[in-house]
């Protein structure tokens, strides 16, 4: 007798959006399966409406020259499926106001994040990132987001411990250039620490910013591990890879157990979606 076969239930695709201070972060899921992500600058109202009116079809992204999610759509067999439900969270809420007409928009705010102790002005990106870290790597978790701002966000057993905010690597260098007459614009090598004792102004700026930033990161990690031995430490954000590399080059023992994951906020957004289904 032939064994009975049951047709696999088709996966339900959905689009994720995390609106940051300086960029938009997009992701595509099929149910709980991650298919991939991409990033764009903030979009005008006209661009956002053009995408939404085309149900975020891949050809519309190409036409607007906003990056190419087509390979991600095609890899998931989702090319042409529409309209996709859109789950979105925003540090800048006005961006989502451009999508109020979209029929399948699910806005996620702090009240929907299943963590206790969240305070009203906590950035939704920080809440989602630490939720994603805890759900993925276990509690307690400390998330160090190395983006425009350098943020530390810690949670234990689903409750917020607290955190801190400082200027990020790029912002510190930009500030020196912008608010002084003689200091130049500096780009750092993300794969190599600068010489600490510099003999030129650009190198001195890189040294001063990077080594003091790393000292702060090490101090926060050391304090975290003192209070939460065995707790997770997860780096994320645009400069996360560079910070992890620098710490490794310093041969810091704190760097040996660091996790790097650029998609923590998406994992948090997925967790918020799961609790509503």
Residue 198 structure tokens? 């510099």
Q: What is the structure's pLDDT at 83?
A: 79
Could you tell me the pLDDT band of residue 219, with boundaries at 50, 70 and 90? very high
Mean of the per-residue pLDDT values of the chain: 90
* Residues 24 and 89 reside in one and the same domain: yes
Kindly report whether the global pTM for this prediction surpasses the value 0.85: yes
**135 & 82 share domain:** no
- Which of 91, 107, 123 terminates a domain? The answer is 107
H helices, E strands: number in the chain: 9, 10
Final residue before a domain boundary, out of 90, 107, 124: 107
Residue 7 lies in a domain: no
Q: What is the pLDDT of residue 4?
A: 47
What residues make up the domain containing 35?
Answer: 13-107
Q: What is the CATH number of the domain that holds 184?
A: 3.30.420.40
| Shared-domain flag, residues 194 and 66 | no
Q: Which of 34-43, 71-80, 83-92, 123-132 has the lowest mean pLDDT?
A: 71-80
Contact 103/83 with Cβ under 8 angstroms?
yes
Q: Structure tokens of 24? A: 């938009």
Residue 129 lies in a domain: yes
Known catalytic residues? 125
Could you tell me the two tokens for 274? 């799961």
Is residue 30 predicted with pLDDT exceeding 80? yes
148 plus 259 within the same structural domain: yes
In angstroms, the CA 13 to CA 34 distance is: 10
What whole-number distance in Å separates Cα of residue 99 and Cα of residue 234? 32
- Total number of domains in the chain: 2
């Amino acid at each position: 007798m032939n064994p009975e076969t049951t047709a696999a239930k088709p996966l339900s695709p959905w689009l994720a959006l995390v609106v940051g201070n300086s960029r938009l972060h997009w992701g595509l899921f099929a149910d709980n399966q991650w298919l991939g992500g991409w990033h764009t600058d903030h979009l005008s109202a006209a661009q956002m409406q053009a995408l939404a009116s085309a149900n975020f079809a891949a050809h519309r992204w190409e036409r607007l020259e906003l990056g190419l999610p087509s390979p991600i759509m095609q890899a998931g067999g989702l090319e042409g499926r529409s309209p996709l439900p859109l789950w979105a969270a925003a540090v800048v809420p006005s961006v989502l106001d451009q999508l109020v007409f979209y029929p399948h928009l699910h806005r996620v705010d702090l009240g929907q994040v299943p963590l206790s102790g969240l305070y009203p002005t906590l950035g939704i990106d920080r809440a989602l990132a630490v939720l994603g870290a805890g759900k993925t790597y276990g509690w307690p978790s400390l998330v160090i987001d190395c983006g425009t701002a350098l943020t530390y966000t810690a949670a234990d057993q689903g409750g917020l411990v607290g955190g801190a905010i400082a200027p990020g690597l790029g912002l510190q260098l930009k500030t020196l250039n912008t608010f002084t007459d003689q200091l130049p614009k500096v780009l750092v090598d993300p794969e190599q620490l600068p010489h600490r004792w510099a003999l030129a102004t650009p190198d001195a700026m890189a040294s001063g910013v990077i080594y003091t930033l790393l000292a702060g990161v090490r101090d926060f990690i050391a304090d975290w591990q003192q209070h939460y031995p065995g707790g997770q430490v997860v780096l994320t954000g645009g400069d996360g890879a560079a910070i992890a590399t620098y710490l490794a080059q310093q041969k810091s023992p704190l760097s040996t157990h660091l996790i790097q994951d650029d998609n923590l906020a998406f994992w948090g957004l997925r967790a918020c979606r799961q609790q509503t289904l």
